[in-house]
């Protein structure tokens, strides 16, 4: 059973218990990792019943997202933007934001003069959305490279900075975590950095080599004991994992848990790491917010995931043991406790001047490339795709599919001029698992269906004799999906064969891309309709969440089966 505990730097439990969740109609109450945010080193802040997300996300600063539920995120712009006069010039990494005395403080690492070394910087703002302005650049400078700043505020109000002395300078074979007390104005250190932990276990050394990493610290307090989670191995390696250590003082000495790592790769997830910890909306659960690799082979490209955190008693009388039950998860998981259901999708004629953000989620949003005008959703194509190993497509508009069967229809006006410029209707789980129905150029105007399972695509093409505009429709009934096209929205022709529907969770989406040409071409979407079918009794039972039963589908596309989750 998950125990409640005091988590330094976050709102106390009592503050959560009185909060009322956002009022949504009945809808989705499960999620699947990865979530629809492309980010590394994620940090979540809970403030005034809203979650805010920061991370390594831009070469010139830090983006920010907000969410009512930890699952569905809205891009809110740049929280911090470097300027030509900024001290930081490159490698803007690992921002974390805390609220203290009515001010929001951001701590991050960046490269700057002298010697272009990574150092810790501090900025402040009056809103969690920013804009954050530098107040200490760098926070301290001892001639060494420092990354991954984390601030823990103890119950007495004293704040401590934890960060990693990077392996890069002075040249070394290890990256280690240190701590120093912060001055009350948060602009400087009150003490000299003290060593907390150094790489020592085999899993912290990739490939059994001599270089080892301990980085990405996060500190909290539970039953009078200080816990530090950290990441080991190199960030780009599939073996990047999470462990923890305990101490009776913020300065240590720290003792690593013998059962580390508590979060590591599995058959579906690569490189889970660099976590932050946040409460569920009602304060009764703890969640880790972390990144995983977009591809099983690892690399620089990462994405967002969340999982529950739990404590169990140590039978030997030591500190409670920390674990991530079932994590890193791949499958339908229940929403964080206290969340209201996120609404199922509805039709949209795009006649409003503002997008209904209570239902629409935008994957990899770039606001300068879409607009609502003249009763249509306009998306301007950019270079980017979700085909196979790619996940750089922008502005894919998504809504949750209703329970049971449904039809999704949209009118598309789009004239592609170079190969693979396209506009599409899509069924979406994530960028590696989807079914995309496009009107595109592929040595001529064609329709294309791509089913992708775990980044392995299967493609069908046929000539498009309708041209533009064209109506696209996807029908889903049970575990089967069909694709249709029409010149007028009433006379329909099936495109391709019936396909099995093997997505763990289904969103319905719209998008337009130019993955090869990168050309800016306008795609217009109109008369978007979601028409639910009458659900079967089995569908109703599955989606009612009775006894925490959820529908699971094997990644290989094997037949669906019912699986029971522990809540």
What's residue 557's pLDDT?
29
Asked if 535 and 551 count as a contact pair (C-beta separation under 8 A), the reply is no
What's residue 478's pLDDT?
77
Residue 72 has φ and ψ, to the nearest 5°, of -105, 115
In the chain, which stretches have pLDDT less than 70? 1-25, 534-567
Q: Which helix (H) or strand (E) holds 544?
A: helix 537-544
Alpha-carbon torsion, ordered 390, 391, 394, 399, to 10 deg: 130
Asked if 526 and 410 count as a contact pair (C-beta separation under 8 A), the reply is yes
- CATH fold, domain 344-532, is Jelly Rolls (2.60.120)
Three-class DSSP labels, 509-532: EEEEECCCCCCCCEEEEEEEEEEE
Q: b/e per residue, 86-98, with b = 16+ CB within 10 A?
A: bebeeebbbbbbb
What tokens were used for 227? 């816990």
Write the CA distances from 99 to 76, 128, 229, 280, 393, integer angstroms: 19, 8, 21, 18, 34
pTM: 0.90
Superfamily of domain 13-334: Glycosyl hydrolase domain; family 43 (2.115.10.20)
Q: Is 438 helix (H, G, I), strand (E, B) or coil?
A: strand
Residue 202 has φ and ψ, to the nearest 5°, of -55, -40
Of 256, 251, 223, the C-alpha closest to 160 is: 251
What's residue 542's pLDDT?
33
Residue 283 to residue 344: CA distance in whole angstroms:
25
Write the CA distances from 362 to 30, 38, 255, 365, integer angstroms: 18, 12, 43, 6
Q: Where are the domains of the chain?
A: 13-334, 344-532
What is the biggest distance separating any 2 CA atoms in the chain, rounded to whole angstroms? 75
Q: b/e per residue, 168-187, with b = 16+ CB within 10 A?
A: eeeeeebbbbbbbbbeeebe
């Amino acid at each position: 059973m998950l125990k409640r505990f005091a988590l330094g730097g976050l709102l106390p439990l009592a503050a959560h218990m009185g909060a009322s969740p956002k009022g949504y109609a009945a809808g989705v109450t499960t999620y699947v990792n990865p979530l629809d945010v492309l980010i590394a080193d994620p940090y979540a802040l809970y403030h005034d019943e809203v979650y805010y997300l920061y991370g390594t996300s831009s070469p010139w600063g830090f983006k920010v997202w907000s969410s009512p539920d930890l699952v569905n995120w809205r891009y809110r712009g740049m929280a911090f933007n470097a300027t030509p006069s900024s001290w930081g010039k490159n490698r803007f990494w690992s921002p974390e934001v805390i609220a203290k005395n009515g001010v929001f403080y951001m701590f991050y690492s960046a490269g700057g003069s002298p010697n272009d070394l990574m150092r810790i910087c501090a900025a402040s703002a009056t809103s969690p959305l920013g804009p954050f302005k530098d107040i200490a650049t760098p926070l301290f400078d001892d001639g060494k490279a420092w990354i991954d700043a984390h601030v823990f505020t103890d119950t007495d109000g004293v704040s401590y900075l934890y960060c990693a002395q990077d392996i890069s300078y002075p040249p070394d074979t290890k990256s280690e975590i240190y701590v120093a007390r912060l001055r009350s104005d948060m602009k400087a250190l009150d003490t000299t950095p003290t060593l907390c932990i150094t790489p020592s276990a085999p899993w912290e050394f990739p490939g059994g080599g001599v270089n080892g990493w301990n980085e990405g610290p996060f500190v909290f307090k539970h039953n009078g004991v200080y816990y530090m989670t950290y990441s080991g191995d190199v960030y780009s390696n599939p073996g990047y994992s999470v462990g923890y250590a305990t101490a009776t003082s913020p300065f240590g000495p720290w003792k690593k848990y013998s059962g580390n790592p508590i979060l590591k790769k599995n058959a579906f997830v690569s490189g889970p790491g660099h976590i932050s910890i946040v409460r569920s909306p009602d304060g009764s659960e703890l969640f880790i917010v972390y990144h995983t690799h977009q591809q099983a082979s690892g690399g620089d490209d990462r994405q967002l995931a969340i999982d529950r955190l739990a404590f169990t008693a140590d039978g030997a009388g030591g500190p409670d043991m920390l674990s991530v039950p079932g994590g890193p998860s791949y499958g339908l998981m229940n929403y964080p406790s206290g969340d209201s259901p996120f609404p199922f999708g509805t039709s949209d004629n795009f006649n409003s001047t503002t997008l209904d953000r209570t239902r629409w989620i935008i994957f990899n949003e770039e606001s300068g490339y879409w607009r609502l005008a003249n009763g249509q959703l306009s998306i301007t194509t950019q270079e980017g795709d979700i085909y196979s190993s790619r996940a750089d497509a922008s502005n894919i508009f998504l809504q949750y599919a209703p329970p049971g069967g449904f039809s999704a229809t949209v009118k598309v006006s789009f004239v592609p001029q170079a190969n693979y410029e396209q506009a599409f209707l899509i069924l979406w789980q994530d960028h590696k698992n989807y079914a995309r129905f496009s009107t595109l150029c592929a040595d001529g105007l064609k329709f294309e269906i791509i089913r992708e399972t775990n980044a392995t695509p299967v493609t069908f093409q046929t000539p498009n004799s309708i041209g533009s505009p064209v109506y696209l429709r996807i029908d889903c009934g049970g575990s089967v999906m069909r694709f249709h096209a029409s010149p007028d929205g009433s006379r329909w022709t099936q495109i391709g064969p019936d396909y099995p529907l093997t997505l763990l969770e289904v969103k319905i989406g719209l998008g337009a891309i130019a993955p090869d040409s990168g050309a800016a071409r306008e795609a217009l979407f109109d008369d978007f309709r979601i028409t639910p079918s009458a659900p079967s009794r089995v569908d109703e039972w599955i989606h009612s969440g009775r006894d925490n039963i959820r529908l699971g589908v094997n990644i290989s596309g094997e037949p669906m089966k019912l699986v029971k989750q522990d809540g």
